[in-house]
Structure 1
Amino acid sequence: MTTTAHRRASGPRPTADGTGGRQAAGRAPLSGVLWLVWRQHRLVLGVLLAGAAATAVWCAVLRGRMAEVIDAHHLAGCSMISLVPHCADTQEAVIAFRSEFGSSLKLVETGLFLLPALIGLFLGAPLVARELETGTHQLVLTQSVGPLRWLAAKLALPAAFVLTAVSGLSAVFAWLWQVGGDEVSGSYWYSTLGFGALGPVPVAYALLGLAVGVLTGLLLRRTVASMAATLAATVVVQLAFQQLRPALLPVATSRFGLGTAIQAPDSGWVQGQGYLTRAGERLTGDDMGCAPNGDYAGCLRSHDVTGQFLDQHPVSHHWPLAWIESGLVLALALLVTVLVFRVMRRRHG
């Protein structure tokens, strides 16, 4: 009896992850915390992956249907008003195409554009804030895992899931965009939703949203307050980059004679147009004050106007702009992550 009682008293004790000491002894401390993070957040992470997989399947089906319609009516490269010869009689077909597929394409764009904010709101903000609010972090920190290693595990596993899910969705959407994007659908690459859903942009913003959510959780220590602050910060960052985006790359300038009608391509992101003087000065109609119903030609001569200009970002600027903005956003995400670990070290050692 004495031997049995002694073995029970000195046997495996429950740890923070709910396993016995023998099981925990066979697992490295950090991997044990990763398992605990998975157990705590497997519902949200599972929903993220399942939603990404379902959306990818739906996009594949949508792409097939769109490709059939475009091939049947020869709509590739056509818009509602196009100067391309083979698009002369396709206006009604383009209108029908946009009526059938426009809302579906817009729905995918909107989902990818909002996904970074949703990740920060429902994954990043509660990730640490809930632990601090309920005090359950104290149990974990009493184990062999230090606060910084605990935080690293808390960030690493969700970041891996976010990177996998959003990268896959972005790639599938780019594959869908190749068929029905831009001219045919009327949803252009430079639109707020289109740019935010294509290429590396949603991936960078998703990682930033996750990092911002964890930082607000550490600072505010309240789940609901952290969610609100994360949403506000994510919106502010996205709005700031929307204003900065046109200046990330020099525009391409085209020059025209006075008698030439300026025709910007449908895929071009127009940034400005106006008149050129003999000295090279740029003027707009507002600058000159020429009345349309007056002697407009005489007014142009009085300002020594010799030609016209058009500033735009052509479609070839899309990927450079996307990578530049994504690099800046990722740098910001890295900075926020560094702040997260500094705050953790200062408050919890």
Structure 2
Amino acid sequence: MSNLTKTPAAGPNGSTASPASPIATRGPRLSGVTWLIWRQHRAAYWTLLAATALSVAWIVYQRAGLMEHLTAHGWPDSASGKWLEGMGPHTAMFVKVGFGLGFIPILLGVFLGAPLLAGDLENGTAKLVTSQSVSPVRWLAAKLGVSALVVVVCTVALSLQFGRWWGPVKNETTVLGWETGAAFDNTGPVPVALALFTVVGGVAIGMVLRRALIAMVVTFTFAVAVQVVWAYFRLDLGNIVTVTTNKGINVPSPRLPHGAMQIDQSYVTGAGETLGWSTCAHEASEKARDACVQKADIVGWSVDYLPISQMSGMQWFGASILFALTAAVAVFIFMWGRKRLV
């Protein structure tokens, strides 16, 4: 009798022993629509994961070089003026890498978000899938869920490593100011929030336009606009601190905390009003300038600044706004998809 038809041997207690099922011995595996989504977009997903792994490894290498330089110059025990010597190449690298990472939300929105649904709607795959036992909502949830998970994993890894690289010198504005996009937008929750918003926005644009190429062009415009608006309002996320003096203008202006970003500097009058620092600059002589200062009742300086201690709070506040906008766009996608997907 063939082994394929042979009755399984009885066990010691008379029970029939069955060979272990291959499925039972496997680890967790994707299945159903989740497996289908991963397989359909596996080239894009694996490309993102591989690019992230290479970028993280390169940043780790750069951090090792930075730490070697800092420790050789007495960091952290010596004064910052000593270990900041020769930081030019590292400063330039921070700026270049930060500038490059700033394009990631745009690239993800254009090349992952925009064609995610638009491609399926354009070539008819969406109609084929939803004509089976898979509901449009379940298909949309799998599409968005798997893609969002990949985006979060990649951006979190990059954010953590860039923050770890920049951490030893984050208080030194001469290296990389914390308020700049290169630092603020590439650390903490901000890169995750920006990437998710542009990707989900691109998905919504593709779903409405139903043409992949057109959706990618429109998504590029959308993603660039998001970056411009974000950069314009970034500093408005913090609470400006004002410090004043009343000992005249011939003494230095107030000294700010280490790492603080100065927003504005002006004169302050005896009545507490502020005047632009160029108020008496037009006077030709020092005597005329002193007379102008007396006439305007200028008694000291007023300086507005943002301390670096507010950075984390500003990042989470801004990221929460972006997460809320992302959730709103996702709700729109599901509402549109339930009735008008195919």
Counterpart of 1:187 in structure 2 is: 176
Distance 1:138 1:222 in 2: 15
SS in 2 for 1:96: coil
Asked if the contact 1:132/1:222 (under 8 Å) is kept, the reply is: yes
Distance 1:297 1:74 in 2: 47
Ranges in structure 2 where 5+ consecutive residues have no aligned partner: 1-22, 24-29
How far does residue 96 in structure 1 lie from its aligned partner after superposition?
2.5
Asked if the contact 2:179/2:235 (under 8 Å) is kept, the reply is: no
Q: Does 1:296 align with 2:289?
A: yes
How far does residue 264 in structure 1 lie from its aligned partner after superposition?
4.2
Q: Does 1:233 align with 2:222?
A: yes
Asked if the contact 2:261/2:306 (under 8 Å) is kept, the reply is: yes
If the length of structure 1 is used for normalisation, what is the TM-score?
Answer: 0.83
Distance 1:132 1:95 in 2: 57
| Per-residue deviation, residues 254-276 of structure 1 (Å, max 9, x unmatched) | 11232321244562221111011
Q: Does 1:96 align with 2:86?
A: yes
How far does residue 249 in structure 1 lie from its aligned partner after superposition?
2.3
Asked if the contact 2:266/2:302 (under 8 Å) is kept, the reply is: yes
Distance 1:182 1:108 in 2: 18
How far does residue 106 in structure 1 lie from its aligned partner after superposition?
2.4
| Per-residue deviation, residues 234-290 of structure 1 (Å, max 9, x unmatched) | 22122112222222222111112323212445622211110111111111134x354
1:300-315 aligned within 5 A: 300-315=293-308
Q: Does 1:198 align with 2:187?
A: yes
Identity among equivalent pairs (%): 33
Counterpart of 1:278 in structure 2 is: 270
Asked if the contact 1:213/1:226 (under 8 Å) is kept, the reply is: yes
Distance 1:292 1:261 in 2: 21
Stretch moving more, 108-117 or 331-340: 108-117
SS in 2 for 1:306: strand
Asked if the contact 1:125/1:227 (under 8 Å) is kept, the reply is: yes
**Higher helix residue share:** 1
Distance 1:184 1:60 in 2: 22
How far does residue 75 in structure 1 lie from its aligned partner after superposition?
5.5
Asked if the contact 1:76/1:184 (under 8 Å) is kept, the reply is: no
Asked if the contact 1:66/1:180 (under 8 Å) is kept, the reply is: no
How far does residue 31 in structure 1 lie from its aligned partner after superposition?
4.5
Change beyond 3 A, Cα 1:87–1:115:
closer
Q: Which amino acid aligns with 1:305?
A: I
Asked if the contact 1:97/1:185 (under 8 Å) is kept, the reply is: no
Q: Which amino acid aligns with 1:176?
A: W
Q: Which amino acid aligns with 1:297?
A: D
Q: Which amino acid aligns with 2:111?
A: F
Distance 2:258 2:175 in 1: 9
Counterpart of 1:333 in structure 2 is: 326
Please tell me whether Structure 1 or Structure 2 has the larger radius of gyration of its CA atoms: 2
Asked if the contact 1:97/1:184 (under 8 Å) is kept, the reply is: no
Change beyond 3 A, Cα 1:40–1:202:
same
SS in 2 for 1:224: helix
Q: Does 1:324 align with 2:317?
A: yes
Distance 1:344 1:252 in 2: 47
Counterpart of 1:115 in structure 2 is: 104
How far does residue 223 in structure 1 lie from its aligned partner after superposition?
0.9
Distance 1:40 1:342 in 2: 24
Q: Which amino acid aligns with 1:108?
A: V
Distance 2:335 2:118 in 1: 16
How far does residue 110 in structure 1 lie from its aligned partner after superposition?
2.1
Asked if the contact 2:190/2:316 (under 8 Å) is kept, the reply is: yes
Tell me the C-alpha RMSD between the 2 structures. 2.2
SS in 2 for 1:197: coil
If the length of structure 2 is used for normalisation, what is the TM-score?
Answer: 0.84
Counterpart of 1:342 in structure 2 is: 335
Asked if the contact 1:201/1:325 (under 8 Å) is kept, the reply is: yes
Counterpart of 2:119 in structure 1 is: 130
| Per-residue deviation, residues 187-231 of structure 1 (Å, max 9, x unmatched) | 111112221111110000011011011000011111111111111
Counterpart of 1:5 in structure 2 is: none
Change beyond 3 A, Cα 1:292–1:161:
farther
Distance 2:206 2:38 in 1: 19
Q: How many corresponding residue pairs?
A: 309
